[in-house]
Structures are given as C-alpha cells and as structure tokens.
C-alpha cells in the first residue's frame, strides 16, 4: 500500500524584531499525532517500510519503534525494514531531544500501524489512508504481554555497526567529493575575530589544493572564518599550515572572568535573583542548619563522533545534505534561510549519529559544508577535529549553587536554593546578545530543569540568575537536571546528617511523589541498604543514595558504593539504580539508557571539566577533557519499575540521581563533603585518625 507523502511547505522563520535585527531561524516543534504519522509506515507486497520519525543516535529508538510497529501490525520482525528518512520522505517532526521519542511518538506510530493493519485485513492494498486516532487501550503494542513471546529483538543496525558498514556521515562518499575545513581564530566565537592576512599563494601551491573560500556565511558568532577545500583530508592540514592565517581578536577572558560572572555572593547581597522556580517566604536572618555551596564546572558532551556533514549541489541548483544532526528539518530550514533556497529544493538525509547528548541540535558544520560545496562546485565533506569540537561547540554551562535548609523535629522546614548559570535553551551559540536580553525576561527552562525540590518543606524558595558567558553554552544531557540534582541531593544528605537520620528514611518521609518513594525503596532494598561493605586495611569505603524526578514524569533512585585509597584516588565499586519511566517497550534498551546515565553521573564526579585559558576552551583532546574509561565503570544493577503507567521517557532520567549518590558516598567514606567538581584526589588524601 503506497502511503501519501506528507510535506509541509512552511519555510524557516524570518521575523524583523527591531530595525536591523532579524531573529535567527527558530526550530519548529510540531506535535506528533496520528494525522502526521501516516507517512511513517508503508506497505508493499507483504513487506513494510518504517520511516523512523526520530534520529537514531545510539539510544536504539529504531529498535523500540520497530517493536511497536511489529506488535501493532502483527508482522514478523524481518518483514519490517527501518529507514532513516530524508526530509523528502516524511513531514516535519521535532528534534530528537528530551527523552520524548517513546513518550510522544510511539502512540501515533501505533495508531498509524493499526489503521494500516485494519485496512489490509479489509482487503485494501492500494492507495493511501489517513491514520485513525485509536485510543490507547485499543492498541496492541502497549499491552503488558506485547512481544513477550518473541523474546529480546535484534538490535536494528547492530550487525551493521559490528561489520563497520556505512551508517554515519563520515562514511558518505559522493562522486568527485572533496574535503573542506573552516579555519577560525583560536578564541571563543563570542569574541569578535577576523583574519589580518594569510599566504594564499603558499596554500595554492600545496598538492591537493582545490579552493580558498571567503564568505560571510562562514561566520560563527562574532568569529569570521576562512574556508579551505582539498582533494584529500590529509591535504587540509598541509594547506592550513601553509596558509598561516594571522588573526585579530577583540578582547579576552580567563577562567577568573567566568568565575566572577557567576559569583553568587554579590548577587544575593543585592537581594532576590531574577528568576524563581518556587517562590516562598523564608527567614533569611535566622540560623540555618545546613548551608552549602556547590560549584559545577563547564563540561563537554564528549560524543565519540566529531560532527560532520556532506553537501552536494546538483546542476539544477538543488542541495542534498547528509548530516549527523538531532534535527534534520531544522537543518533544512537554516539552509533555506541562509542560502536563499526554497525548502523543496533542499533534501536533508539524517544518518546515524555517533553520540549527541544535546550537542548536535544547531547548525554548524552543515552550513560550512554547503557554503564550501557551492564555492567549489563539487560535493564537499567537512568533519570537525576533536579540537574544533571543544573550541567551537557549545558545552554544559558552569553553575554555582548556594543551598540552605532549616529543620524542625527532624524534618525540612525551610529550603532556599539560589544558583547562577548560563543559557541552555537560548544558547549563545545561536541567540545574539540583544535577543538573549529579551528571552531573559521569561527565563530559561533548561537551566531550571530539575531545580524544583521533590521533598516537602513548609517554606521553599528556589531562584536563579542567567549570565551570558564568553564561552558557548547550551543543551547537555538532561539540561540543568544533572547539576541541579547533584546540588539538591548533596544538601538533602547534609540535612539527614543534621537530623541524625538515616538517609533513605529521611527522604521517604518527605517525598511528595509516591512513584519516587517507590523507586527509592526498591533501590535501597536491592543494594542492601544499612549493610555498608567492610573497609579494607588501606581504603575507606562509603555508601550514598540519591533520587529525583525528571521532567515531572519519570523517576530514579541510585545507591552508590565507593572506596578511597591513601593517595586520595576515588573508585566507585557498585551502582544500583531503580528506574520508573512508565510502560517499558524494550527493557534492554531502557537498561542501556540507565547505564549511560550512570556513567554520565560518574563523569560529573570524577572527570567532567573543560579548561579555559587564553580566551578559549583550552582542550584539544580527551587528554585535556577526560571522560570515564572502562576501568572507571563499576558493576551496575538496573531495576525497572513498570506499574503500567503511560511511557514517560527514559533517555535522561537517571542523571537526576547518579552523581548525587556518588558524591554522598564520598562524604560517607571520608567525612569530606565534595563541593567542587570533579573531585580532586588532593581533597580526599587524608586518612581518618
């Protein structure tokens, strides 16, 4: 059955706000529905094609969506072929972000599949049909026993990954393809930078030289770019060296500049902060039982695949683009706006993404490839180096937290959490300063994510300030939820100590959400809470717990065991996680997501930090900005709590508990409360008396 192709003709947004000021292209967020899902599933001669409406970036959503389709269609696994679509194949869908794929897209897909199944059963094999909005209880894919008899499904593209088959942008080869790079000043794009001069003759004399490109579209932020094109990737290095660009950079900054910008003391001295998550009346003058400062640094996404794109213009001026992006339709809209093309003259094909974590949501390398391809009149591949990833990508913003609490009869009475951070949703990698001042009036929900206290307190106040920093900041896995939860759970742990209470019992007595209490009890029971491992002769051991809610819908709790040797080296020895994201479609997939989040939490405590020096992010490789290695990762036990609630998102939930549990275990082992992350061995070196 050929399905009707649904194509929206809406173009990228271009709105004049003030004279001379144009809004950047704003990502569209169409809500998924049965009406829009009819192009996702198609039938022809007994076989089905599933055009995946989400980006596959290692979360294995292709497998989960195929499970939904097979269960609803009643089709064997090998009868459904998953296709990563181009923008010409399906209608616009929103970016793959926020743990939304199963929660928001599984039901519309199941409705489309149910419509197709019933049509085939009625003898219809030609034409197109509109999907019916079947109620949830009528859909087979969400029954508790759906797919149980078949066992765990084969991982979509799993064998291709093992075989090294072409799946990623770096694998794309086009006839006559050449290679490009955009050179920029060794400074943050927040600083105005331009080339003063370069040796074009020397560059052209290098073997493999194709083109030298100057185009205003190669500007990133306030930094002008110089494009080079070569016949081979290796020639790019030689041409860059021969070109020897001399740069002028206006201004500068250091780590001290960032620290001063985020300093909470003068902000609190002036009174209330600009944004409130919860507004309550608290007594600021009385003595606090807990008064804690937490600093979380700038940190990278650490995706193993550096971003890349391939662009090709046809003889008719049409643009084909292959990307590793979380939002292929946004890439199309940016290309239309910046290159002056109509949407129907651009086709963007999404490839599998080798890790993204929120970092591949905007248009960077994609526009570079298109501009260079237009100038060279050949297909061009641009792939950033690791150093470019660190210098020109956006990162998790640093944040500073001050948390204070009063107790009454062993329970929370008053809670005050103030923090400062930089922008996340309104990233300075896209939003100019004038527009960011406007958006600051409404705040930034990404910065506020996870800042609401999940415990009862008679009076609560949570407030924050936004600061535009000279480094690029933006969405990072879970947005603000990871840093905010680390700060909150550290303070709650100190509250339990101040109340002379058990850390688990203290939390359960004051948790407002029953599902959160349930996962905490589940994790504590599985970990054997109350029976801390015995210390070795030369090591201190500790156990910590933390829990939290993600986006108000999914819940997680983690128990961590750690040991610290005489040199101060910290090692996490065990992690137990209980996780409730509602109905689980693929248990193996959800466990993998939990494991990934636990490693992110581990990284927050032991590794994550980006150095800043000489007016830029000063990391060039993972040696400068390390991520946890396999030897750092402990045994993990994942317990999935599924009481039949609607799917609510698994991708980022466990990050609200992972780092806090490890930090609290360090406190238990050493008596030292980590307040600056990552934890340094020097902070933990002193052995107890």
pLDDT tens-digit map of 400-415:
999 999 999 999 999 9
Domain 5-163 fold is: Aldehyde Oxidoreductase; domain 4 (3.30.365)
pLDDT 10s digits, 435-479 = 988 888 888 999 999 999 999 999 999 999 999 999 999 999 999
Diameter over CA atoms, the chain:
81
Which whole number is the average pLDDT over 108-130?
A: 89
What is the per-residue pLDDT for 9? 28
Q: Give yes or no on whether 5-163 and 169-250+307-383 have one common fold.
A: yes
- 535 pLDDT more than 90: no
What is the per-residue pLDDT for 151? 65
Indicate the average pLDDT of the chain: 91
Q: Could you give the 3-state DSSP secondary structure of residue 411?
A: strand
What is the DSSP annotation of 543-593?
EEEEEEEETTTEEEEEEEEEEEETT--EEEEEEEEEEE-SS-S-HHHHHHH
In this prediction the pTM is 0.92
pLDDT band for 585, please (50, 70, 90 cuts).
confident
Using the 8-state DSSP alphabet, how is residue 104 labeled? I
Q: For residue 424, count other CB atoms closer than 10 A to its CB.
A: 23
Ramachandran region of residue 546, left (φ > 0), alpha (ψ -120 to 50) or beta?
beta
Nearest partner of 476 among 330, 644, 246, 302, judged by Cα:
302
CB within 8 A of 78, min separation 6: which ones? none
Q: 68: part of which helix (H) or strand (E)?
A: helix 61-73
| C-beta separation of 439 from 465 below 8 A | no
CA 192 from chain center: how many Å? 28
Domain coordinates in residue numbering, the chain: 5-163, 169-250+307-383, 263-299+395-684
Class of domain 263-299+395-684: alpha beta
pLDDT 10s digits, 180-208 = 999 999 999 999 999 999 999 999 999 99
- 686 pLDDT more than 80: no
Domain 169-250+307-383 has CATH 3.40.50.300: no
């Amino acid at each position: 059955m050929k399905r009707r192709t649904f194509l929206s003709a809406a173009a990228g947004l271009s709105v004049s706000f003030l004279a001379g000021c144009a809004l950047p292209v704003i990502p569209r967020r169409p809500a998924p529905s049965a009406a829009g899902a009819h192009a996702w599933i198609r039938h022809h001669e007994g076989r089905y094609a599933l055009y995946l409406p989400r980006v596959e970036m290692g979360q294995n959503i292709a497998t989960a969506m195929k499970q939904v389709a097979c269960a609803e269609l009643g089709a064997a696994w090998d009868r459904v072929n998953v296709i990563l679509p181009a923008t010409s194949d399906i209608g616009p869908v929103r970016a793959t972000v926020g743990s939304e794929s199963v929660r928001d897209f599984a039901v519309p897909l199941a409705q489309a599949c149910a419509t197709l199944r019933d049509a085939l059963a009625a003898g219809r094999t030609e034409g197109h049909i509109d999907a019916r909005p079947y109620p949830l209880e009528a859909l087979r894919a969400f029954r508790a026993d759906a797919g149980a008899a078949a066992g765990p499904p084969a991982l979509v593209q799993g064998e291709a990954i093992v075989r090294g088959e072409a799946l990623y942008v770096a694998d794309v080869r086009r006839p006559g393809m050449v290679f490009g790079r955009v050179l920029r000043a060794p400074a943050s794009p927040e600083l105005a930078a331009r080339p003063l001069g370069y040796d074009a003759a020397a560059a052209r004399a290098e073997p493999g030289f194709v083109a030298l490109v100057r185009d205003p579209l190669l500007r990133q932020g306030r930094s002008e770019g110089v494009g080079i094109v070569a016949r081979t990737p290796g020639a790019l290095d030689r041409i860059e060296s021969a070109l020897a660009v001399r740069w002028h950079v206006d201004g500068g900054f250091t780590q001290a500049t960032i620290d001063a910008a985020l300093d909470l003391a003068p902000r609190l001295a002036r009174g209330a902060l600009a944004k409130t998550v919860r507004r309550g009346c608290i007594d600021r003058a009385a003595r606090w039982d807990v008064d804690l400062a937490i600093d979380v640094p700038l940190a990278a996404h650490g995706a193993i695949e550096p971003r890349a794109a391939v662009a090709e213009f046809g003889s008719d001026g049409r643009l084909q683009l292959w990307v590793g992006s979380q939002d292929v339709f946004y890439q199309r809209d940016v290309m239309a706006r910046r290159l002056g093309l109509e949407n129907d003259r651009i086709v963007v094909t999404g490839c599998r993404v080798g890790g993204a974590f929120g970092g591949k949501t905007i248009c960077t390398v994609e526009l570079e490839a298109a501009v260079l391809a237009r100038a060279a009149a050949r297909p061009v591949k641009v792939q950033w180096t690791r150093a470019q990833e660190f210098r020109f990508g956006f990162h998790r913003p640093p944040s500073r937290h001050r948390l204070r609490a009063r107790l009454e009869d062993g329970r929370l009475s008053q809670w005050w959490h103030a923090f400062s951070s930089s922008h996340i949703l309104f990233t300075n990698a896209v939003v100019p300063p004038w527009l960011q001042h406007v958006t600051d009036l409404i705040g930034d929900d990404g910065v506020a994510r996870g800042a609401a206290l999940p415990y009862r307190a008679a009076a609560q106040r949570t407030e924050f300030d936004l600061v535009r920093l000279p480094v690029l900041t933006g969405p990072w896995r879970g947005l603000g939820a990871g840093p905010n939860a680390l700060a909150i759970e550290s303070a709650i742990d100190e509250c339990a100590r101040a109340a002379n209470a058990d850390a688990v019992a203290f939390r359960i007595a004051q948790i407002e959400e029953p599902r959160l209490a349930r996962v905490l009890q589940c994790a504590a029971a599985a970990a054997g809470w109350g029976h801390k491992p015995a210390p070795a002769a030369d090591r201190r051991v500790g156990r910590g717990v933390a829990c939290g809610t993600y986006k108000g819908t999914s819940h997680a709790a983690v128990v961590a065991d750690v040991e610290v040797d005489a040199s101060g080296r910290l090692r996490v020895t065990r992690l137990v996680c209980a996780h409730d994201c509602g109905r689980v479609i693929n248990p193996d997939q959800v466990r993998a997501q939990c494991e990934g989040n636990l490693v992110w939490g581990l990284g927050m405590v032991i590794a994550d930090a980006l150095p800043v020096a000489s007016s830029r992010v000063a990391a060039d490789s993972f040696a400068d900005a390390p991520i946890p290695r396999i030897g750092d990762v402990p045994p993990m036990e994942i317990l999935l709590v599924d009481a039949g609630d609607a799917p609510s998102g698994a991708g980022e939930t466990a990050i609200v508990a992972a780092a806090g549990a490890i930090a609290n275990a360090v406190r238990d082992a050493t008596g030292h409360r980590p307040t600056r992350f990552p934890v340094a061995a020097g902070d933990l070196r002193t052995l107890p008396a």
